[in-house]
A and B are shown apart, each in its own frame.
Chain A
Amino acid sequence: MAATNRGTFFSGAGLVWKWQRLVWWVFAVCLIFGFFSTQEMTERAASLLNHSMAAQRLVNGFDVGAITELLQLPDSPLAIQGHNIVHFSMLFVVFMLFATGGILAAYVLDEKPTTTAFFEAAGHHFWRFFRLLIYLAIVLLPIAGLAAASNAIHTHIDEQSISPYSADHFGEAAVVAILMLLILVRLWFDMAQVIAVADDEKKMHRALRRALTLLRRNFFSLLWLYLRVSIIAWVLFGIGLHVWMYHVNPQSNVAAFLLSQLMILIWIGTRLWQRASEALWYRDHQANQAPEPAWSPSPAPMYVPVAAEPQA
């Protein structure tokens, strides 16, 4: 199992690299949304800053005073950011809900994701994944309750304990526990999505049940498969932030932009790496369950990959 896991771990990376156009597409959409969400701010800021000597304070470093002064101006160019960013972020969530079907289909079938096949798969699974999202919201409710209870206990310990560290330690432990729960829930739903795509499962409650069984029986291997990619993602993100804050020349906008986008690209890449690894794991798992290959496309696929486009 360890060897299989290790193989799946690297194969997943290989699959992401192989069909890297998926990563680029998701990144492109994310970047476009990011630009749109900041367009109005940019125009307002430009009218104020492009011809102002005071803008030099922002060019030469991260001047907190300048930022707060900009925020406090009566017609602050920064004031409208929050709404736009949230709106476009929600739009991106809808996009990912749609695109996940196509992405998983590409990983499950391990065939070149043509545009038609991608959109057919995406559309085919969209409503299923929307229903899964509702299930997810229901599952998250008790976790939210647990978080609230942890917070109340943390407050109680903080009020009673002479040392400030008692509550801190409890809080840290609670955060870790809740984080682990969220990871497990995400992993569970990831596998449900893989099952829905791989087996063309129409009923999401069945997909969830099967995914839960899979998770129960292969708990550590699946968890480790998911977790190590997460660790890699967070470590790389932290390194990127550190480099940005401490090593990038404050005057170099190009370097800052490229680094920030590289961080986003890596983040997207690692998330797709998780999806690919899960898809491969499931495919191998199904293959190992019966003497004859167990995995095959659904008997009457709703979508048929068209002939592969010639490689560029």
Chain B
Amino acid sequence: MTIALSSRMPSGSISRRIAVWSGLILFAVILAAVPWFSTFAVQRLLVEALTLFAIALAWNLLAGYGGLVAVGLHVFVGVGAYALFATSNQLHLNPWMLLPAAAVFAATFALISAWPMFRLSGAHFAVGTWVLAEMMRILTLNSPSLGAGGGMPLEAMGDFDRWTRNAGVYWAALMVGAGSLIVARAVLRGPLGLALMSVRDSEPAALASGVPVSRSKIALWVLCAAMTGLAGAVAYMNTLQVTPDASFSLNWTAAAIFIAVLGGIGTLEGPIVGTIVYFALREFFADYGAWYFIGMGLLAIATMVAAPGGAWSLLPQRWRFDPFRVRRLMPELGPDRHASTPALNHDL
């Protein structure tokens, strides 16, 4: 049993908790009610933002907490989307009911792929996952049963009217976005998070103190694959048609990396900040075509050189509050002292 120090902070007082929870519930109600007071275009944009947020969060968990940089994370976007489309079209089932199946399929695929991929480490793992994504792209491109290069539509979506379809996809995206944040927070506060952070700080030390290093990394890999696969499935429910070149496209990972780098790698707040910045930039500058991508690339390079911790690290130390309470502090230290040291007060 692990006690994250955040629960001992004075901020856990009853009145404050009530304020936080009522604020969260109000926010959730407003978000859930979006389909009644917005256009389809807004909903589609929000679906894009929420699914991309979940993918960026998964990339950030892998890179920032597991030390697993996956340049080929987009393989799970495609696998999740194709799993949903193929099973729904084959079995003529409601695609919303099949979303868990897409997540399970992506997780299974991740578990199998861990066998060759975890032979590689560091930068080699990063490029190795990209090889995996390329393989899956070429394979679907050459599979007539999956529609080959033209891809396939989600036939069951024709049974629903336009409002239900859009609202349903939006609610699914909301569940994916909020759900992955909740899961990520729970994981980081739990034993897996403790293990991962100890590996991040010093792998040999973690190994020596009995942390199951490779098992923890594989668990994180499978979890992030499920998150990415689910997000991919919902993202393609939004577009109604999946193609190999779009779903197994590096652009998914590039956007996720951009969001994580800009917001701050190794934090939960980073992807939230990054997603907002990413979509704001895209809405304003996407019309500039190639110049937009050149600007984005240069911005990412500048961030890596000047502020490798991303936007979140630019906040002054005392404003850097910990809304998700995933930071672990030594019991002797005051709550204002920043440290990523694992808690020592756990009774094993």
Is this pair of chains taken from one and the same complex?
Answer: no
Residues in chain A within 8 A of chain B (CB atoms)? none
Chain B residues within CB distance 8 Å of chain A: none
